Structure formats: structure tokens, C-alpha cells
Chains A and B, each alone.
Chain A
């Protein structure tokens, strides 16, 4: 006979006591029903005697419970999560096993709340990151503050005590009018953006890239009108007619569709399908068809279902890591901002321009096989150098 708590079996006593009290059965009564002395049951309930299967079954029958509820109690995973939750609150060593054993329902509630807190903290962190680094938001804020600065300074001159020349007055009035229009537009966009930071906002509240993503999702990222030797439509026609897109989003969409059209012309559907059938590897296909790897990856993410290659996700980011284009993949979350996993080959590729990377991303808890036969997602990544921008030419500059 062993004395003292050991492993999971020892805490069966704690669970027996909790269940007996829940059932309103006196210790002496339960002892009588199972044929042991009250003092012996007391030792069991305080985990000072290990309990065998026969006696455990008798207690379970006496309390009208499944024996497993007494023998197994809370799972190890639950206990581990409770321990982590206690540690996160600065209370390590709070006896999570005993708590889970004695109060399984409360333990489940604490676990659920701890998980919810973790989820919410993640969302808060992602939103905080978005506020700090989102290029759309930063640009909108800059426009608002710039317009407000110009209006404040100009209005202050007009409202000052010194008499102004009529030409200057007219000039400043024009400036205020122009800046007020800019302020109205940028503040409206900013308000819409802030009102829907993470939910399911309407089109007007989305950033241009988000509007484009939503449109492409409705098309499942494949546009038959841009396929073939003689496409039925031009990219600008599709962009200008895309429902629910504002002017900025239409510009973004047109740019993406120009790329789509170039990719489709260089890599016709049947050629890609045949190449995939011969060798289902983007790097091999790029070499065989003599096309840049990034083009092959984009093309794989715009193929229609049913021609051979499986559905492919796509992530395009800029040099800062801000994600510009996404095609989500089932089971793979693709956040836009800083909440993205830094282990993605996407980010590693940024420090090795021109060098293709291949990696298998494994998702926590993903049981289903997703491509490579090991439960992971096959990822290819490459960073390309963009043409140098001539900053001395400013499109849309007023000077």
C-alpha cells in the first residue's frame, strides 16, 4: 500500500470527496454503502490511501457516477492550462490538479475564461499593432493632421488683426477651401476605418487593400475575363466596374489585375496544369517554363478549381513586412499586420533577395494533411528587388 498522493490516481480521493459532498451523502453513509470503515474512507478522500479499481467502482455505483469521472478527473491538458493561467496571473503553484479535481465545472469555466482572455489579448495586440504600423491608417492620419495644420495656420492669418491685401485674402480663402475638402475626405475615411477595426465591416469602412481582397474572394481569385490569348475585358474595365470599391481600391485592383493579366499571358492555364502534373513543385515549374518563381506562385493562386493543382494560398508583402496581398488558405490564418508569424519563410526571404526558399509550415493542432503528407503546408517564398523609385517625380503633386 502506498501512502501519500501520487500521480493521477492519488487525487481520485479529492474527486470522491467532492462528488460525495455534491451528492449530499455523509462520509459514514458512503462508507457503509461500500463496506469500508468511515476512517478508511476518510484516508482515501484525503489522498492518503491509494484506491483500487474494485473499490472505486463501488463508490461510483454508490454515488451513481461513471467510474471514469472519479479515476480520471480532469485531463492533463486542462491541468496544464490551469497552471499556465495561474502563472500568467502571478500565482504559480496554486494546486491546479486539486482545483480541477475538486471543482471540475469551475475549472472548466476558469479554463474557458483564460482562453478567452488570451484570445482577446491577442486581438488587442493585433489592433494596437495595426494602429501603430498600418500604412493605410498612418497615411490617413497624416492627411488629416496636415490638412488641419494648413487650415489652422491659414485661418489664423485671416482672423488676425492686421489688414490683408485682397489678393492674399482670396488666396488664403482658396487654400482653406481646398484643405477643408481634403480634411473632410480624409477624416471620413479615417472614421470609417476606425469604426470597423476587426469585425465584418461594410465596404466603405475597409482599406483599399481590404476592399480588393473582398472583391477577389468573391471571384475565388480567378478572373476568366482576363484569361486566354484575347481576354474578354481589360483590367481597368474590370476595376472600374467592380462593385463596392472606392476610387483608391479601384486603383489598387487595376494594378493587381495588370499583374494578373501579364501572369496569365505568360502562363496559360493548360501549360500550368500540365507542368504541375509533370512535377508539382513551383520551383521546378518556374525553371521548366522559364518564368520567375514569383510569377508561378501568383499564377498558382489564381487557378480555377478542377484543372489539377490544389488550391494555393498567396501572401505578398513589401520590404517592411506589411502584407499587401493575401489569398487565405483553409486553416492558415493570414493576418495583415504585425501579428503574422515571424517564422514564415516569407519574412526570411526578405533578407535573402532573389534566393527561393522552400519550407513546410506546420500549424498547431492541425491534424489534417494539407499537401506534403505530413500535416503541414508547403511554402515557397522569394524576395525580388523592385525598380528604383524616382522620388523627384511626384505623381499628383501640386507643384
Chain B
């Protein structure tokens, strides 16, 4: 059974491109675009890995990450954060909140694929 990745991102063309490259790599890709209901989405259909944008409508990715890390069921779920801001403080915040990896936009497809494979293999 293909491993599942949940892409939480609100930009449609980024969703389409990342979904395409991950699907082609054998992943089952689910997408979600709303920050407010993102945690519920993760709980309802737990993925093997989450790619989480930092800036989402309704709720920031940092808040979502914090809630996921506070729940025993998702405490160890691999979460790769994406952000359009590469400042050290954002990276520090993400890692402090428990992100498994932090990636700055614009990223390369190869970079995303490599990191997703690495995170999935633990």
C-alpha cells in the first residue's frame, strides 16, 4: 500500500506541482487548504507524513504544529514545514515547536522528494 502524505498548503499551483511529483514517486497525496480544520483532518485520516505550510488561511502552520505535537497520537508524526520566510527566527520557532524538517520556498522538486523519502524512512 502506498504511503500517504498530507500536503497542507493553500496555493493551488504549488499544490498541483508538489502533488504531481510526489504521486509520480509513488506516494498517495492528500491535500488540505484550510488552517482552521487542518488538525481535525490529520486526526481523521492520519497520514504517514505531513507537509505543512506556515502561512495558511485561518490558522498559522506554527499553531497547527504546536497542537499536533501536544497530542500523543501525532507527537511523532513527521512534519516538514514550508515557509516563504527563511529568517532564522522562523526556522528556530519551527524546530522548537517540533518540526521534523524546515524548508524555505522556493524549493526544488528534488529537494522535496529527497527530504520526504528521508523522513518516511525515519
Contact = CB atoms under 8 A, between A and B. Distances in A.
Interface string A156-171: 1100001000001001
B14 interface: yes
Contact of A153 (B21, B24, B35, B58): B21
29 contacts: A141-B85, A145-B105, A145-B106, A146-B11, A146-B14, A146-B84, A148-B106, A149-B105, A150-B13, A150-B14, A152-B106, A152-B108, A153-B14, A153-B106, A153-B107, A153-B109, A153-B112, A154-B16, A156-B108, A157-B20, A157-B109, A162-B24, A172-B16, A172-B17, A175-B13, A175-B17, A179-B13, A391-B35, A394-B57
Nearest to B14: A150
A392 B36 contact: yes
A181 B109 CA distance: 22
B58 A157 contact: no
A392 B11 CA distance: 15
B18 interface: yes
A392 B59 CA distance: 11
A399 interface: yes
Interface residues of chain B: helix, strand, loop or mixed (majority): loop
B93 to A, nearest CB: 15
A288 interface: no
Nearest to A155: B17
B74 interface: no
Given A154-B13, A399-B33, 14 more contacts: A142-B85, A145-B84, A146-B105, A148-B106, A149-B107, A150-B13, A150-B14, A153-B109, A391-B34, A391-B35, A391-B59, A392-B58, A398-B12, A399-B12
A399 B57 CA distance: 13
Interface in A161-192: 162, 168, 171-172, 175, 178-179
A306 B14 CA distance: 57
Contacts of A152: 106-108
Contacts of A146: 11, 14, 84, 105
Interface residues of A, number: 25
Interface residues of B, number: 26
A150 B106 CA distance: 8
Contacts of B13: 150, 154, 175, 178-179
A162 B20 CA distance: 12
Contacts of B112: 153
Interface in B1-30: 11-14, 16-18, 20-21, 24
Contact of B106 (A149, A178, A391): A149
Contacts of B85: 141-142
Nearest to B107: A149
A152 B18 CA distance: 11
B42 interface: no
B119 interface: no
A394 B85 CA distance: 23
Contacts of A394: 57
B97 interface: no
Interface string A112-146: 00000000000000000000000000000110011
B106 to A, nearest CB: 4
Nearest to A174: B13
Q: Can you list the 9 inter-chain pairs with the closest CB atoms, starting with the nearest?
A: A391-B58, A153-B17, A150-B13, A149-B106, A145-B84, A149-B105, A175-B13, A148-B106, A154-B17
Nearest to A394: B57
A394 B58 CA distance: 10
B89 to A, nearest CB: 10
B39 interface: no
